[in-house]
A and B are shown apart, each in its own frame.
Chain A
Amino acid sequence: DGGITQSPKYLFRKEGQNVTLSCEQNLNHDAMYWYRQDPGQGLRLIYYSQIVNDFQKGDIAEGYSVSREKKESFPLTVTSAQKNPTAFYLCASRVGGYGYTFGSGTRLTVV
């Protein structure tokens, strides 16, 4: 079945560490997105990519980095520059005028 796979489901980061969240889709969607969700809050856009080898900053890109070397993959790195990374991270993809398809999310906690 087609869909989006995010891994890991839970991730723990020590202070000063970089961590990478994986997002893979087999839907052949061109556009992919990363959102951050804090408890009881809505989704805020971190980065998005409309085609391979191209991506744009969203509303809260500071402290994050991405790459889009393959159509299927859009990994998100949370760098040590992100001072408050504890949150729920959702990856999504989209084709044409349709809505998003979301992954099941990664819950990142700083320990």
Chain B
Amino acid sequence: AQKITQTQPGMFVQEKEAVTLDCTYDTSDQSYGLFWYKQPSSGEMIFLIYQGSYDEQNATEGRYSLNFQKARKSANLVISASQLGDSAMYFCAMNDPLFNKFYFGSGTKLNVKP
């Protein structure tokens, strides 16, 4: 069974500062993918960033980067220069390559303070 753990139910960050959202995972597969999604209050899920298990470099997408530590089974999301529009729920997810489905963590609610 696969499991995603997000231990921070809620976080605050000051505007323009960086913030790290934690994610650990548990899998016995060698090949897997890790994803982060943002969910604003409107409800839609917005894809942010992807890291493959065989990727040697950490993924980056604009202000988002993924701190991938395979041995520790962690895939933390780093948001640099936080903006007010970053206030949302953030979900870490991992795919199950055998069954072609995703497992999601319980999410972290990020509040950016002006």
A residues near B (Cβ < 8 Å) are 31, 33, 35, 40-45, 48, 50, 56, 58, 88, 90, 92, 94, 97-105, 107
Contact = CB atoms under 8 A, between A and B. Distances in A.
A97 B92 CA distance: 17
A42 B104 contact: yes
Contacts of B50: 98-99
Nearest to B109: A40
B35 interface: yes
- Chain B interface extent, by class: 20 to 34
Interface of B: 9, 33, 35, 37, 42-45, 47, 50, 91, 93, 95, 97, 99-102, 104-107, 109
Given A99-B47, A104-B43, A107-B43, A41 B101 contact: no
Pairs A-B, 10 closest by C-beta atoms: A102-B45, A42-B106, A105-B43, A43-B104, A42-B104, A104-B44, A99-B35, A99-B47, A42-B107, A48-B101
A63 to B, nearest CB: 20
- Chain A: interface secondary structure? strand
B44 A58 contact: no
16 contacts: A35-B104, A43-B91, A45-B101, A48-B100, A56-B99, A90-B45, A92-B45, A97-B95, A99-B50, A100-B47, A100-B102, A101-B47, A102-B37, A102-B44, A105-B43, A105-B44
Contacts of A94: 100
- Give the residue among A43, A44, A92, A101 with the most B Cβ atoms within 10 A: A43
